[in-house]
């Protein structure tokens, strides 16, 4: 194992939890992942097993079926999955991105109806913000929800929706007051079996092959107004608030994944020989490994600090943008340079490094592209 500055954010109970998550990942995820990659989706059974093992919705309070843990438990699940390159199961999207919207902004009825089965894996969830016309400029979304009596009538189209194939519920961002721009956006929980909701293609991606990503069409979909998540027309504010945690999820994954890639590369280059010695014995290789080790360590310490700030409720949108920019760019550099050290084998999808390289490319796009992070940071520092 690579030696890093000791981590101080986890307690003893977290370390016990990490061991049980690690065991689950080794026995239930690793042996099935390549099958799911071929099928383009993760089996429902895996979700139910994850629910049984207590790794879904671990930061959701016990009264709503969760484990009553904190974001550190979520981080452990994300890290243990990233450590083995398990990019398929969208557990963190379900547990740490969608569930918090229901918990924080949903009515008591919605919380009681949906969170317990989400924690057991009987109900899967997705979030639909991005549209074919664009995802960076969320305020320009075109999907509308028109109020008619006690119902919203939703019309529009979404794209790149993770987990849409398996999901039973989707939180759909739509305009309830189109003339008001960003101030007219609302979040509405839509059950997948509502008439008028249909899925388009299962999109063929260059990586994260086991994670399903789809188009979603909404044509006169009627849902009761009680399915509103949060305050009508304040959906954009809710999104911006929750995007900080969504981005932190990506940062945690990026660092753990980069650490794993470096370890695989050290192991490989210590065995592989050229010109009569191991690749790792060459100083050029050691310089590369040293640079990557340093980059990862700096990000590890920084992201741990961000996790701590998040636990204290002090992790702001600007911090999330900095953290994401730094960690996912680092992840991209590390995976590219590690792949190089595997030579031709690094390009073969049978090798974990090849799959991780392709999987990681999405980090710089999904959940807000890195240019959007720079835009947020730039605007903030110039204003100061
Ligand atoms: C694997 C994957 C899974 C995803 N899952 C989900 C999901 O579950 N739910 C969901 O709603 N969305 C999801 N997305 C969508 C994702 O959030 C969007 O792709 C992303 O927000 C960018 O939107 P876009 O693709 O429309 O690109 P565009 O908005 O068209 O942007 C194109 C390019 O222009 C750049 N750009 C845009 N604005 C600026 C600016 N102001 N300054 C400089 N450059 C700019 C962008 O950075 C990008 O490089 C997923 C995407 C991927 C790849």
- Ligand 1: nearest atom to the Cα of 93: 8
Q: Is the shortest distance between the CB of 369 and ligand 1 below 6 Å?
A: yes
Cα 2 to middle of ligand 1, angstroms = 34
Four-CA torsion 23, 330, 214, 98, nearest 10 degrees: 60
pLDDT at 42 over 90: yes
- Ligand 1: nearest atom to the Cα of 128: 11
Cα 366 to middle of ligand 1, angstroms = 6
Instruction: Count Cβ atoms below 10 Å from residue 19 Cβ, excluding itself.
Output: 11
Cα 369 to middle of ligand 1, angstroms = 5
Residue 108 is a catalytic residue = no
Q: Is the shortest distance between the CB of 375 and ligand 1 below 6 Å?
A: yes
Given the residues 37, 80, 242, 246, select the one marked as catalytic: 246
**Mean pLDDT in residue range 276-283:** 98
DSSP E strand boundaries for 193-306: 197-202, 213-224, 228-229, 273-274, 277-278
Would you state the pLDDT for residue 6? 94
Would you state the pLDDT for residue 384? 59
Cα 368 to middle of ligand 1, angstroms = 6
* Residue of the CA atom closest to atom 12 of ligand 1: 130
Instruction: Count Cβ atoms below 10 Å from residue 341 Cβ, excluding itself.
Output: 23
Would you state the pLDDT for residue 2? 75
Q: Is the shortest distance between the CB of 132 and ligand 1 below 6 Å?
A: no
Q: Is the shortest distance between the CB of 174 and ligand 1 below 6 Å?
A: no
* Tens-place pLDDT, residues 162-184: 999 999 999 999 999 999 999 99
**Mean pLDDT in residue range 55-78:** 97
Backbone angles phi, psi at 214, to 5 degrees: -140, 170
* Ligand 1 binding pocket mutation candidate from 129, 134, 135 (most atoms within 8 A of CB): 135
Q: Is the shortest distance between the CB of 88 and ligand 1 below 6 Å?
A: no
Note whether 84 and 25 are within 8 A (CB).
Answer: yes
Rounded Cα distance between 207 and 108, Å, is 38
* Tens-place pLDDT, residues 109-166: 999 999 999 999 999 999 999 999 999 999 999 999 999 999 999 999 999 999 999 9
């Amino acid at each position: 194992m690579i030696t890093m500055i000791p981590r101080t954010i986890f307690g003893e109970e977290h370390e016990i939890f990490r061991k049980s998550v690690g065991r689950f990942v080794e026995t239930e995820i690793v042996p099935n992942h390549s099958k799911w990659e071929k099928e383009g989706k993760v089996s429902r059974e895996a979700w139910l097993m994850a629910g049984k093992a207590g790794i879904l919705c671990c930061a959701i309070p016990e009264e709503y079926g969760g484990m009553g843990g904190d974001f550190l438990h979520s981080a452990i699940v994300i890290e243990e999955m990233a450590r083995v390159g398990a990019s398929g199961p969208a557990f963190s999207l379900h547990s740490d991105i969608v569930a918090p919207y229901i918990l924080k902004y949903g009515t008591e009825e919605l919380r009681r109806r949906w969170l317990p089965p989400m924690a057991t894996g009987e109900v899967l969830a997705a979030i639909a913000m991005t549209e074919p016309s664009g995802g960076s400029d969320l305020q320009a979304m075109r999907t509308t929800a028109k109020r008619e009596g006690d119902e919203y009538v939703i019309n529009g189209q979404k794209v790149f929706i993770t987990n849409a194939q398996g999901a039973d519920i989707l939180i759909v961002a739509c305009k309830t007051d189109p003339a008001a721009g960003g101030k007219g956006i609302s979040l509405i929980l839509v059950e997948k079996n509502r008439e008028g909701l249909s899925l388009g293609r299962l999109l063929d991606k260059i990586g994260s092959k086991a994670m399903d990503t789809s188009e979603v069409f909404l044509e006169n979909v009627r849902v009761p107004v009680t399915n509103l998540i949060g305050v009508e027309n304040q959906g954009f504010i809710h999104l911006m608030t929750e995007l900080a945690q969504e981005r932190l999820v990506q940062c945690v994954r990026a660092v753990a994944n980069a650490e794993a890639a470096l370890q695989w590369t050290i192991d490989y280059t210590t065995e592989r020989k050229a010109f009569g010695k191991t690749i790792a014995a060459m100083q050029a290789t050691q310089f590369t490994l040293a640079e990557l080790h340093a980059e990862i360590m700096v990000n590890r310490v920084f992201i741990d600090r961000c996790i701590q700030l998040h636990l204290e409720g002090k992790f702001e949108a600007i911090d999330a943008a900095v953290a994401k920019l730094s960690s996912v760019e680092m992840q991209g550099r590390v995976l590219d340079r590690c792949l190089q050290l595997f030579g031709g084998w690094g390009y073969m999808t049978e090798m974990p490094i090849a799959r991780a390289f392709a999987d990681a490319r999405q980090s710089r796009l999904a959940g807000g592209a890195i240019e959007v992070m720079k835009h947020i940071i730039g605007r903030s520092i110039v204003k100061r």
